[in-house]
Amino acid sequence: MENIQMVDLHGQYLKIKSEVDAAIQEVINQTAFINGPQVKQFSTALEKYLGVKHVIPCANGTDALQIAMMALDLQPGDEVITTSYTYVATCEVIALLRLTPVFIEVNPNTFTMDPTAIEKAISSKTKAIVPVHLYGQCADMEEILAVAKKHNLYVIEDTAQAIGAQYTFSDGRKASAGCMGDIGTTSFFPSKNLGCYGDGGAIFTNDDALSEKLRMVANHGQKVRYFHDIVGVNSRLDTIQAAILNCKLPHLDEYSAARRAVADRYDQAFENHPNLKTPTRNPKSTHVFHQYTLTGCNFKREDLQEHLKSKGIPTMIYYPLPVHLQKGYSMSKFEQGSLAMTEVLCNNVFSLPIHTEMSKETQDYIIQHVLDFF
């Protein structure tokens, strides 16, 4: 069996190599490394793809979240409701801006924010809700947006894992992941579903005034060069990365379909297994399967990982320790046991290799060795 990886970036590159190589060479020939024409070209193409008015490119997905919170003028002490079951970046920027993270539970079937837990977490200091479209499908946005509207709260969607997912509201209206709240953020980290060959990120909004503010914050707080109306940051998408993304964006839907096909086969293989629970799909969202994550019961997770490793099959745990139990986040004052569901998930989930290049033979091999373990 060939070298199995969680994600096969090299195989994906080989399929579009000539196009990507030429695009990179073109940037070098033009030497417009900062804010070259490819950056604007990409943000315009992404606006069209997502059906959103403004895409503001930036340096990475963490910056995107920080710029979003700065543009909304969130102030130290303001409370932001989010999940502890996420990648740390979501909470990192909250802490960095001296905002207060207020963690709530996730739905253990879909792994996304439990909307019924929001209202109990709201206080007079609450300013925003940050749902994470974890593993590639949308959180329950209809319910989240309704609570946000009722309490006059901002919604920032962390879309780092779900670019290309589509949400359908009860009235039939469709929207792209990241384009339903006030602001959406994403990452083009290489292993993300739309990954570049280094760091990259973007911010989405349908609000014209907010888009101007976001651009200003990302660009040293200036609208006019050398006139800094607010304190900002320096966060740009490299031209070379934008050129690569221009080659990859037209393939995004086919990449999502390839991932979904792998997920479908895993689902069929593990559907009625007594020790494994397959990931539930939110009926209102398409799923782009950034990760394929199973929840185990009645066996030792490390033993299964060890068994698979001996067969050359990698597994990953996203995430082994929830943010509220991380040493660096003790200021959140959420103790062990305070988010029981989140903690149970962190102790029992594991993710199998899933990517755009996986052959049926490789997947059969993985499935067989997972089943053989039991």
Ligand X SMILES: *Cc1c(COP(=O)(O)O)cnc(C)c1O
List residues near ligand X by CB under 6 A: 60-62, 86-87, 89-90, 132, 158, 160-161, 187, 189, 199, 201
Token digits of residue 342: 């989140």
* Shortest reach from residue 7's CB to ligand X, in Å: 13
* Shortest reach from residue 303's CB to ligand X, in Å: 27
* Shortest reach from residue 133's CB to ligand X, in Å: 8
* Shortest reach from residue 6's CB to ligand X, in Å: 14
Q: Residue 286 corresponds to which amino acid? A: T
Residue number, 248 or 308, with CB nearest to ligand X:
248
Tell me which residue has its CB nearest to ligand X.
Answer: 61
Instruction: Give me the DSSP letters along 148-211.
Output: HHHHT-EEEEE-TT-TT-EEE-TTS-EEETTSSSSEEEEE--TTSTT--SS--EEEEES-HHHH
Q: What 3-state DSSP class applies to 73? A: coil
The CA distance from 20 to 26, in Å, is 10
Residue number, 255 or 270, with CB nearest to ligand X:
255
Q: Which residues pair with 187 in a beta bridge?
A: 201
Q: Which CA distances in Å does 112 have to 36, 141, 288, 328?
A: 37, 10, 14, 23
* Shortest reach from residue 334's CB to ligand X, in Å: 19
Residue number, 270 or 319, with CB nearest to ligand X:
319
**What backbone phi and psi angles, to 5 degrees, belong to 373?**
-60, -35
- The end-to-end CA distance of the chain, in Å, is 22
Residue number, 237 or 308, with CB nearest to ligand X:
237
Strand residues in 197-315 grouped as ranges (E): 201-205, 222-224, 227-228, 276-277, 292-296
Token digits of residue 18: 């000539």
Residue number, 158 or 182, with CB nearest to ligand X:
158
Task: Give the DSSP letter of residue 48.
Answer: H
Residue number, 351 or 362, with CB nearest to ligand X:
351
Residue number, 82 or 211, with CB nearest to ligand X:
82
* Shortest reach from residue 299's CB to ligand X, in Å: 27
* Shortest reach from residue 139's CB to ligand X, in Å: 11
Angle formed at CA 76 by CA 70 and CA 79, multiple of 5 degrees: 90
